[in-house]
Structure 1
């Protein structure tokens, strides 16, 4: 305390979210959020969302007359997986805005000239790739999906750890797939029809059906289609599990030794998908995983854990 009366009456805690691991004061940063009149020397911030990669924290002490200087800011890493949809490589019939994708039947025709200019500007350009907290950011590193592969990928890749995100489809959505793929997925490849993509496919065209797909093999699931899908990826443990995001009931599990970084992958025909990222892995998932540690692992076959 700067005054002779150094007795601390309370503390002030300030925090702000950031995407930078470094100096706390960076241009265009979010403003500080303040918690005042903290009487103890410990405090728990609750209700936070993992929608950024780091958080800055600083504190200062106060007596009844004045406040002391702020402590040096501390930058803490958040562990949740944050990504947007990559509109630079999505199919031209898909309208992509951050974490939302919608199918447009005439989208490709209206953007052919744009596509030509884009391909011309990309020739000779090397892919840009950065790494953030064990997750590789992939930007402009591939051609657009084409043909009947109405696909869009996430812009951050998973290289390690456990991650979770959720997907909600519009009620009028006729057909969509949710899963992961290696970034080498071909521009005409459909999710689940190659050995480098894994997905859950929902078909609402004539009747509601749910199926797991990988390597051009399909396993029909006799399970109601949930209103919201949860995707849990344990890269190091070789596990990809789809959940009913509301009830947290597992729908299907793929077990595979992943040999390349994984990108979240989505395919849609008629309708739209909204993706929620930056979510903490629910504790019930890690508990289920511990119970399954004794299960034998498949190197290539589909494994259904929902009976």
Structure 2
């Protein structure tokens, strides 16, 4: 933005330039006009911003007043309800006391009338001259006095006239109301790093308020994946994700894929008025094994995508035609027809079309009956875990690990550089662990999802039922070079789930098994 003084200097400089060189005047004038036009546009934009802000102030203040009136209306409503309730209590007490006193008054009036009547009768008896009549009257008076209600009436009121014990002292409440102030902005929470945990692809976060604040309505948690250790960067390739309306001072993020090394986390507290400042952010480590499939290694009958691999009987035909020529299409088509099974799917034993080499860093694609694809990330150390799910119609598949130098015709489990479990649902069902062309039948049902645990440092490859973490099989070996995940698919497909930590149940099982000296491994493993 250029000030007016700067524009004046430019005009002055332009005039001088015009005097010195007449050719520069049009260009300088054009620059001034352009500057003025830009300034004009900036002013228009600034005026629009001010107008929008004024409108926002009016709208927000109206909303705030409305919210405040609503709060006071709620308070008035509560006071009215309390007043009505207490008034009803007084009326009920009044009715009760009035009824009791009215009954006493009625009884006493009746007793008084009876007593006055008896007294009049007694006075009249005193004037009786006849002795016999006088004795008779005296006896009647005696009997009536004995039964007179005046002698049975309680002379103490059953209720007091005072009602002051039903009064209410609002002095404290009045003082509280007089001390009403606008809610302050909540303080920033403090994340208790020692209480936070990262287990089983769940991040549990615990925090506290520096000062107890009963006015806190809820908390907002924000998290962001990152590959940078330490304090969060202002700009990062990932955006903040928001979890709102948390009512407690702890929260667990679940169902996460750990496809970054770390996670930034921050918390802010909110009351009904405003959201407070963010807590000091923390960075938690979320390392896990992430990999994809190396499409350049894939057999041409396999279709690879980000989430897995699928059998494609039509795959590679375009590449074949480039090398075989159009004249060979008919014969190739007849050959494929002969090799079709009754179900219309080529048999893995008979479909063996020579593929053109497609180099992958100095090696060819898998070809022949090796319907294989490798992972694109090598494992050279540490413990890693991933899971594999087969599609319902998958007839034959294998999963495990292999060295990268696998030959293009090699099949998983049939070489000394591959370890896998193989599932066959075609013609007959089988489930076996394979290595170096040796197979061990696994006498368990095939789970829907299989977990693969690779301990490169400990020389161990284990397969688990991913649902209940039941051990299916363990290979014990000493890997002489890095390995990569490896998969074979025929007629069907596999989906991969990566970015997983080693499950705590698997870690516990491995610790227990290693603590037993490997006794269970001798049963469930084939040693290289």
Instruction: Please tell me the TM-score bracket, short chain as reference.
Output: 0.7 to 0.9
| Offset from partner CA, 1:242-273 (integer Å, 9 cap, x none) | 12223322111101122322211100111111
Choose which of 217, 229, 239 in structure 1 pairs with 2:438: 217
User: How much has 1:295 moved relative to structure 2?
Assistant: 2.9
Change (3 A) 1:59 1:228: closer
| Offset from partner CA, 1:164-193 (integer Å, 9 cap, x none) | 222121222121111011222222211111
Do structure 1's residue 59 and structure 2's residue 267 form an aligned pair?
Answer: yes
Which residue is 2:295 aligned to?
87
User: How much has 1:18 moved relative to structure 2?
Assistant: 4.0
Choose which of 517, 520, 525 in structure 2 pairs with 1:295: 517
**What are the equivalent positions in structure 2 for 1:191-230 lying under 5 Å apart?**
191-230=412-451
| Inter-partner Cα distance in structure 2 for 1:142 and 1:78 | 34
Alpha carbons 1:209, 1:225 under 8 Å: kept: no
| Inter-partner Cα distance in structure 2 for 1:185 and 1:201 | 18
| Offset from partner CA, 1:20-57 (integer Å, 9 cap, x none) | 658645565344223455664xx343314134223222
Choose which of 245, 257, 260 in structure 2 pairs with 1:50: 257
| Inter-partner Cα distance in structure 2 for 1:20 and 1:90 | 33
Alpha carbons 1:18, 1:52 under 8 Å: kept: no
Q: Which has the higher contact order (CA 8 A, sep 6+)?
A: 1
**What are the equivalent positions in structure 2 for 1:149-228 lying under 5 Å apart?**
149-228=370-449
Q: Secondary structure at the match of 1:156?
A: coil
| Offset from partner CA, 1:211-250 (integer Å, 9 cap, x none) | 1111122222233222222212222221111122233221
Q: Secondary structure at the match of 1:179?
A: strand
Alpha carbons 2:185, 2:276 under 8 Å: kept: no
Q: Which runs of 5+ in 2 are unaligned?
A: 1-183, 188-212, 324-354
Alpha carbons 2:185, 2:273 under 8 Å: kept: no
User: How much has 1:64 moved relative to structure 2?
Assistant: 6.0
Alpha carbons 1:91, 1:144 under 8 Å: kept: yes
Change (3 A) 1:37 1:199: closer
Change (3 A) 1:90 1:292: same
Q: Which is greater in Rg?
A: 2
Q: Which runs of 5+ in 1 are unaligned?
A: 123-139
Do structure 1's residue 78 and structure 2's residue 286 form an aligned pair?
Answer: yes
Alpha carbons 2:295, 2:304 under 8 Å: kept: yes
| Inter-partner Cα distance in structure 1 for 2:257 and 2:371 | 29
| TM-score of the pair, normalised by structure 1 | 0.77
Which residue is 1:29 aligned to?
238
Change (3 A) 1:45 1:246: closer
Change (3 A) 1:24 1:226: same
| Inter-partner Cα distance in structure 2 for 1:203 and 1:37 | 48
Q: Secondary structure at the match of 1:251?
A: strand
User: How much has 1:285 moved relative to structure 2?
Assistant: 1.7
Q: May I ask how many residue pairs the two structures share in their alignment? A: 280
Change (3 A) 1:117 1:270: closer
Which residue is 1:260 aligned to?
481
Choose which of 495, 498, 508 in structure 2 pairs with 1:277: 498
Which residue is 2:472 aligned to?
251
Greater share of residues in strand: 1
| Offset from partner CA, 1:141-183 (integer Å, 9 cap, x none) | 8532222211111222222222222212122212111101122
Greater share of residues in helix: 2
7-16 vs 235-244, which deviates more?
7-16
| Inter-partner Cα distance in structure 2 for 1:37 and 1:292 | 41
Q: Secondary structure at the match of 1:45?
A: strand
CA RMSD between the two structures: 3.3
| Offset from partner CA, 1:96-145 (integer Å, 9 cap, x none) | 111221111220222345997964xx7xxxxxxxxxxxxxxxxx685322
